[in-house]
């Protein structure tokens, strides 16, 4: 009777011990799984935060326009001086032929205007419309627009010109000396005198 009791007691003790061991192992496994999940979540959150911060950095671009002084019509395709860039990026619209002296448009020639007041507004010595953004500076807003102003070049009509020839003949009209050119390609209405140098005695 004592032998049976001791055996049952030992068996029960071993069973309880084994059960406790399994339970502890499961608990540790669940704890590790939860910890890994939290770590991954925190890492992903930090990555997203960094990405959003970079994409929200303010940027802007610089555009140049070329207009006619009398009506503001654009006579040349807009030019992008600076593509989308971070704020405080320097720009200069006087370089790389971005400020041409002459422009051809619809068969007419236009010239950058000198400083003065025009129908489109006040223009400085660079031909730059003062109400537009500065011709040099730093990117500081989404779109900076610089405007240069031009006027049509009026071609002066060609002045008519003429020649003066001196012929030498006798009283009967016979040629007695080679003809001489007294004036050549001179403006009409200009005075001439053949007596001084082209009338031999």
Domain boundaries, the chain: 60-152, 156-194
What is the percentage of the chain residues whose pLDDT exceeds 90? 47
Report, as an integer, the average pLDDT of 1-22. Answer: 42
Query: How high does pLDDT run on average in the chain?
Result: 77
Least confident of 17-21, 99-103, 147-151, 161-165: 17-21
SS3 28: helix
- For residue range 22-46, list pLDDT tens digits in order: 444 444 444 444 444 444 444 444 4
Residue for token pair 């009777």: 1
pLDDT band at 99 (very low <50, low <70, confident <90, very high): very high
CA dihedral 47→48→49→55, nearest 10 degrees, is 110
Nearest CA to 63 out of 51, 76, 46 is that of 76
Report, as an integer, the average pLDDT of 147-166. Answer: 84
Token readout for 86 is: 């971070």
SS3 127: coil
Residue 76, Cβ density class (10 Å: 0-12 exposed, 13-18 middle, ≥19 buried): middle
Residue 200 has pLDDT above 90, yes or no: no
Backbone phi, psi, residue 57, to 5°: -65, 125
- pLDDT of 6: 41
pLDDT band at 155 (very low <50, low <70, confident <90, very high): confident
Nearest CA to 88 out of 34, 164, 144 is that of 144
Residue 201 to residue 184: CA distance in whole angstroms = 24
Residue 106 has pLDDT above 60, yes or no: yes
**Which CA distances in Å does 182 have to 162, 169, 171, 194, 201?**
11, 16, 22, 7, 17
Residue 111 to residue 180: CA distance in whole angstroms = 44
The winner for highest mean pLDDT among 44-53, 146-155, 168-177, 181-190 is 146-155
Nearest CA to 96 out of 82, 117, 108, 84 is that of 82
- For residue range 131-146, list pLDDT tens digits in order: 999 999 999 999 999 9
- pLDDT of 55: 59
Helix (H) or strand (E) holding 31: helix 2-55
Residue 75 has pLDDT above 80, yes or no: yes
What is the percentage of the chain residues whose pLDDT exceeds 70? 67
- pLDDT of 187: 76
């Amino acid at each position: 009777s004592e032998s049976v009791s001791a055996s049952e007691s030992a068996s029960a003790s071993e069973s309880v011990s084994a059960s406790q061991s399994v339970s502890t192992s499961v608990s540790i496994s669940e704890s590790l799984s939860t910890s890994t999940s939290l770590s991954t979540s925190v890492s992903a959150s930090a990555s997203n935060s960094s990405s959003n911060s970079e994409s929200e950095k303010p940027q802007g671009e610089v555009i140049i326009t070329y207009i006619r002084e009398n009506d503001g019509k654009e006579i040349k395709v807009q030019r992008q001086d600076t593509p989308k860039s971070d704020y405080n990026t320097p720009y200069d619209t006087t370089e790389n032929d971005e400020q041409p002296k002459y422009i051809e448009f619809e068969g007419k020639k236009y010239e950058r205007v000198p400083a003065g007041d025009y129908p489109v507004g006040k223009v400085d010595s660079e031909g730059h419309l003062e109400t537009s953004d500065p011709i040099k500076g730093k990117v500081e807003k989404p779109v900076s627009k610089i405007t240069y102003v031009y006027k049509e070049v009026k071609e002066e009509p060609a002045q008519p010109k003429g020649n003066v020839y001196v012929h030498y003949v006798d009283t009967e009209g016979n040629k007695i000396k080679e003809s001489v050119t007294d004036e050549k390609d001179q403006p009409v209405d200009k005075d001439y005198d053949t007596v001084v140098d082209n009338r031999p005695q």
